[in-house]
Amino acid sequence: MQVRQWWRARAVDDDTRLDAQELLLHCLDVRRSSFYMMQNQQLSCEQLNWLDNQWLERVKGRPLPYILGRAWFWGMSLRVSADVLIPRPDTEVLVRALLDLDLPSQAKVADLGTGSAAIALAAALERPQWCLIGVDQSELALQIARQNVHDLAPGRVHLVRGSWFGPLRPQSLDVVVSNPPYLAPDDPHLVDLGDEPRSALVAEDQGFADLFELIQTAPAYLRPRGWLLLEHGWQQGEAVNQAFRNAGWQCVRTLTDLAARDRVSLGQWHG
Ligand SMILES: C[S@@+](CC[C@H](N)C(=O)[O-])C[C@H]1O[C@@H](n2cnc3c(N)ncnc32)[C@H](O)[C@@H]1O
């Protein structure tokens, strides 16, 4: 069977067209720009078997990044497994906000709940002088994070296991950045997110427990005029912004994603 025959048989809408293309690119080990030149290439039995098996997984609802073991974030190809959240384009709003801050040239930045280390690695590559720490409570997630750091920016992100600020020294950080779990335990979206680790997605108190804990505890770990940046659900912006203000944070603001939905809130601690 030719590449285009396999592809056309599966490409019934935009999603399937793209996903079938991704699988073919991976299988043929070629870049997207070469895809159309490969259309008449004959697929071997091994390649066909592999493609059909992976497609079956995809039809059953397994997310493509888990099938391929790779996800794109901030121009990086990251390793992922079912032990980490698949990094989302929304989280690039958090990275942009972090890079836009006016910080000391050798800023010390902690990424709490680092998962695949997506945020920490984006920051490490964009700001070579910064000192990056990634914290996660999941050892399995940290194994993936270690591989990503090794592949993309060796030695640039110090990874530690623990719960939120547990492994960190008080008053030692210029910035804390986090994309914590923020879905309520009964959030209907969880039905479609069944392949991803629940511990990366769900928080008590209608999804606010971890967001509020970080807002309360961060001041003790920040240097004077340090920042806290939090990703949250698009319907949580007002409540998170208010929680920052109630806790005494200054320069509080909420940023939106490309769809103009509240996505990130941040504040500065003046002490
Ligand atoms: C929404 S995921 C974010 C992953 C990654 N930062 C990203 O943006 O793709 C939340 C992460 O927080 C971690 N986590 C949950 N509770 C934690 C806790 N108490 N302390 C540290 N990490 C925690 C989970 O293991 C998961 O990796």
Phi-psi region of 103 (alpha: psi -120 to 50; beta: other; left: phi over 0): beta
Q: Identify the pLDDT of residue 68.
A: 93
Q: Identify the pLDDT of residue 33.
A: 83
Whether 39 has a pLDDT exceeding 90, the answer reads: no
Dihedral over Cα of 266, 259, 118, 65: its sign: positive
Please work out whether the CB of residue 141 comes within 6 Å of at least one atom of ligand 1. Answer: yes
Whether 31 has a pLDDT exceeding 90, the answer reads: no
Distance 225 CA to ligand 1 centre (A): 25
Whether 149 has a pLDDT exceeding 90, the answer reads: yes
Residue 252 contacts residue 241 (beta carbons within 8 Å) = yes
Smallest CA-to-CA distance from 197 within 75, 110, 113, 72 is with 113
H helices present in the chain, as ranges: 3-10, 14-28, 45-59, 64-68, 91-100, 118-126, 139-152, 198-201, 209-217, 237-246
Lowest model confidence (mean pLDDT) among 27-31, 130-134, 207-211: 27-31
Q: How far is the C-alpha of 78 from the C-alpha of 139, rounded, in Å?
A: 18
Q: How far is the C-alpha of 169 from the C-alpha of 128, rounded, in Å?
A: 22
Fold of 71-269: Rossmann fold (3.40.50)
Please work out whether the CB of residue 121 comes within 6 Å of at least one atom of ligand 1. Answer: no
Amino acid at 67: I
Task: State mean pLDDT over 36-56.
Answer: 92
Q: What is the pTM of this model?
A: 0.93
Q: Identify the pLDDT of residue 12.
A: 82
Please work out whether the CB of residue 148 comes within 6 Å of at least one atom of ligand 1. Answer: no
Cα 181 versus chain centre, distance = 11
Cα 84 to Cα 91, 138, 163, distances in angstroms: 14, 9, 16
Distance 181 CA to ligand 1 centre (A): 6
Distance 179 CA to ligand 1 centre (A): 7
pLDDT above 70 covers a percentage of the chain that reads: 100
Whether 200 has a pLDDT exceeding 90, the answer reads: yes
Q: Identify the pLDDT of residue 131.
A: 97
Distance 111 CA to ligand 1 centre (A): 9
Please work out whether the CB of residue 143 comes within 6 Å of at least one atom of ligand 1. Answer: no
Query: Where residue 35 falls among pLDDT bands split at 50, 70, 90?
Result: confident
Query: Where residue 142 falls among pLDDT bands split at 50, 70, 90?
Result: very high
Whether 271 has a pLDDT exceeding 80, the answer reads: no
Whether 133 has a pLDDT exceeding 90, the answer reads: yes
CA atoms within 13 A on the CB side of 225: 5
Segment 69-116, tens digit of pLDDT: 999 999 999 999 999 999 999 999 999 999 999 999 999 999 999 999
Query: Where residue 194 falls among pLDDT bands split at 50, 70, 90?
Result: confident
Query: Where residue 14 falls among pLDDT bands split at 50, 70, 90?
Result: confident
Assigned token pair, 19: 């996903």
Q: Identify the pLDDT of residue 168.
A: 98
Domain-wise residue ranges, the chain:
3-60, 71-269
